[in-house]
Chain A
Amino acid sequence: DVKVTQSSRYLVKRTGEKVFLECVQDMDHENMFWYRQDPGLGLRLIYFSYDVKMKEKGDIPEGYSVSREKKERFSLILESASTNQTSMYLCASSFDGSMNTEAFFGQGTRLTVV
Chain B
Amino acid sequence: AQKITQTQPGMFVQEKEAVTLDCTYDTSDPSYGLFWYKQPSSGEMIFLIYQGSYDQQNATEGRYSLNFQKARKSANLVISASQLGDSAMYFCAFSRMNTGFQKLVFGTGTRLLVSP
A residues contacting B by CB (< 8 A) are 30-31, 33, 35, 40-45, 48, 50, 56, 58-59, 88, 90, 92, 94, 96-105, 107-108
Contact = CB atoms under 8 A, between A and B. Distances in A.
Contacts of B1: 59
Given A40-B9, A88-B43, A105-B44, A98 B108 contact: no
B50 interface: yes
Contact of B106 (A31, A35, A104): A35
A36 to B, nearest CB: 11
Contacts of A41: 108
Contacts of B106: 35, 42-45
Nearest to B35: A102
A99 B91 contact: no
7 contacts: A35-B106, A42-B6, A43-B106, A58-B103, A99-B33, A99-B102, A104-B47
A100 B45 contact: no
B50 to A, nearest CB: 6
Contacts of A33: 104
A42 B33 CA distance: 18
